[in-house]
Amino acid sequence: MDSKKMFAEFFGTFWLVLGGCGSAVLAAAFPGVGIGLLGVALAFGLTVLTMAYAIGHISGCHLNPAVTVGLWAGGRIKAKEVLPYIVSQVLGAVAGAGVLYFIASGQPGFDINGGLASNGYGEHSPGGYSLLSGFVTEIAMTFFFLFIILGATDELAPKGYAGIAIGLALTLIHLISIPVTNTSVNPARSTGPALFVGGWALSQLWMFWIAPIIGAVLAGFVYNYFRVKPKS
């Protein structure tokens, strides 16, 4: 695969984790001016929106293994591209989480056990939601995320607006599901922080790979069923 695409995915996913998780760790509860749930949701959406216009023309701006697999299921990319994309995304997420950890640990009293914006269920869900609730949430949210991505980037869709639709979709997804799982819909985004937190975050990481990929594959097949073919 073209190394430019791999580097684009690396830096794009780095930005998603640093910007999205960084907003949760550094700014969500900052005394007096904390951005809260709404601000974190917007931050995640903005990372994707900004990178869509920065690297969309280079790599397609997947930034997410579930997106890559969903695009493959939808017939948008070749099977041989899937693994290089995923490796680049995971490495970018780990690097982004590493920089965030370095920054956050500069504050007196910082405790990595706080999670570094890791995803979780049960006692590690922000709202105490069960494994089953989290699993269904991640499938449903990723399904609609991919459905929107496939529609917004369809050759029949209006040109130049896909990044806006996709960024706003991710914002809405976070507004819905932060209380349930801290919102993943992205196995790379979950992996980066989990590697630094260890323990419970790593033990629950499996769910944030399996559920988003199930949702993404379903979306790829369903969208292709509904898709209107261009007139020849």
Residue 202 covered by a domain: yes
- 111-127, pLDDT tens digit by residue? 898 889 999 999 999 99
Residue 231 covered by a domain: no
Residue 183 covered by a domain: yes
Q: Print the domain residue range for 86.
A: 3-226
First to last CA, the chain: 31
Residue 70 covered by a domain: yes
Whole-number pLDDT of residue 154: 92
What is the SS3 assignment for 64? Answer: coil
Beta carbons of 58 and 5 less than 8 angstroms apart: yes
User: What is the CA 34 to chain-centroid distance, rounded?
Assistant: 22
Residue 116 covered by a domain: yes
Under 8 Å CB-to-CB from 83, ≥6 apart: which residues?
none
Judged against a pLDDT cut of 90, whether residue 153 lies above it is answered with yes
Structure tokens at 158: 């209006």
Judged against a pLDDT cut of 80, whether residue 229 lies above it is answered with no
Whole-number pLDDT of residue 1: 64
What element of type H or E holds 105?
Answer: none
DSSP 182: S
User: Looking at residues 174-191, what average pLDDT do you find?
Assistant: 98
Judged against a pLDDT cut of 70, whether residue 131 lies above it is answered with yes
Confidence of residue 29 (pLDDT cuts 50, 70, 90): confident
Residue with the bigger pLDDT between 111 and 228: it is 111
CA atoms of 82 and 61, how far apart (whole Å): 13
User: What is the CA 82 to chain-centroid distance, rounded?
Assistant: 16
Percentage of residues in the chain with pLDDT exceeding 70? 98
Average pLDDT in the chain:
95
Least confident of 65-74, 104-113, 162-171: 104-113
- 42-76, pLDDT tens digit by residue? 999 999 999 999 999 999 999 999 999 999 999 99
Judged against a pLDDT cut of 90, whether residue 8 lies above it is answered with yes
Judged against a pLDDT cut of 90, whether residue 199 lies above it is answered with yes
- 84-95, pLDDT tens digit by residue? 999 999 999 999
Supply the pTM of this predicted model. 0.95
Residue 45 covered by a domain: yes
Under 8 Å CB-to-CB from 162, ≥6 apart: which residues?
52, 56, 149, 152, 153
* Count of the separate structural domains present in the chain: 1
Residue 232 covered by a domain: no
CA atoms of 68 and 213, how far apart (whole Å): 9
Residue 153 covered by a domain: yes
Query: Domain containing 157 — which CATH number?
Result: 1.20.1080.10
